[in-house]
Amino acid sequence: MAAAAGLAAPPPTSRISSFPRAFSTVLKDLKYADTHEWVKVEGDSATIGVTDHAQDHLGDVVYVELPEVGSTVSQGTNFGAVESVKATSDINAPVSGEIIQVNDELSEKPGFINGSPYEKGWIIKVKISDPSELNSLMDDEKYKKFCEEEDGKH
């Protein structure tokens, strides 16, 4: 009789899946745009990618549309796209500048955006043309709160 009672218990996976996912990783020392791109400033250049929060909502990334080195980007405008199994999403520039490097590895390994969004999954590096634009971006604490509020609306 005890075995029958054990069979009636829900499988462990159903209990685990009822809890919300832990909050996405947000790194200190980065700046964040409300369109879920991150910026790492190093001198007069910035490395840009999509946040862990964004990649989590996108699902498995299968293709990344990359811009050309030497082209310029303007804050808030589209410079590429990330295609996942769920959707295609534009990537917007959190700062303006000239593209000095593109992560060509993403052409062969777009999954770096899922597995390592802040390291191997970076997208472009730009020479910042207007450092004051960084003031309009969020720090890690503001971005965490922004994501929590945004997720609460869905």
Residue 96 placed within a domain: yes
Task: Write out the E strands in 8-115.
Answer: 31-32, 37-42, 45-50, 61-65, 72-73, 78-84, 88-92, 97-102
Dump pLDDT digits (tens) for 82-133: 999 988 999 999 999 999 999 999 999 999 999 999 999 999 999 999 999 9
- The CATH number that applies at residue 43 is 2.40.50.100
- Give residue 67's domain range: 31-152
Residue 9 placed within a domain: no
- Work out how many domains the chain is built from and give that number: 1
Is it the case that residue 9 has pLDDT exceeding 90? no
Confidence of residue 154 (pLDDT cuts 50, 70, 90): low
- Residue 120 in contact with residue 112, Cβ under 8 Å? yes
Q: H or E element: which one contains 129?
A: none
Residue 130 placed within a domain: yes
Residue 17 placed within a domain: no
